[in-house]
Amino acid sequence: MSNSAHALYVHIPFCEHICGYCDFTKMIYNPAWVDDYLLALQQEIGARAINPSDIKTIYIGGGTPSALNLKQLERLFVILAPYMASAVEKTIELNVENTNLEKLKLFKGAGNKSNFHRCSVF
Ligand code: SF4
């Protein structure tokens, strides 16, 4: 059965620091956990049978998506590529402290309109 969703929210629950005031679902960044999470994300998206051409907006939030390393972000965008093609609005939350030129080039190449997410560290 096809799912007729028009918006895709992708939660990346990893942060380099955990802020005491934060109520979002998050955990400390651990590369091995991210790899497992991306595999689970790929499987869940596949199981939901979403028609890629139905997706008009994609929001990648967290957590801190920019906490992922470049290789993990590349893998994330490979997973999302079928949906990125039809979405007209694409947003990703970033922390300027772990965003570099290579990541920005990747986001631009993936067609993101990036929203910057700056968090305090306690
Ligand atoms: S970095 Fe952002 S998402 Fe992570 S714990 Fe702090 S406020 Fe929450």
Ligand 1 binding pocket includes 24 (Cβ within 6 Å): yes
pLDDT interval class at 112 (50, 70, 90): very low
pLDDT of the residue at 5: 79
**Ligand 1 contact, 96 CB (< 6 A):** no
Query: Given phi > 0 = left and psi -120 to 50 = alpha, else beta, which region is 5?
Result: beta
- Report pLDDT digits (tens) over 31-67: 999 999 999 999 999 999 889 999 999 999 999 999 9
- Check residues 61 and 5 and name the one with the higher pLDDT: 61
* Predicted local distance difference test score (pLDDT) of residue 55: 94
Distance of CA 63 to the CA centre of its chain: 9
pLDDT value of residue 2: 54
Candidates 61, 74, 81, 75; CA nearest to 103 is 74
- In this prediction the pTM is 0.87
Å from CA of 4 to ligand 1 middle: 31
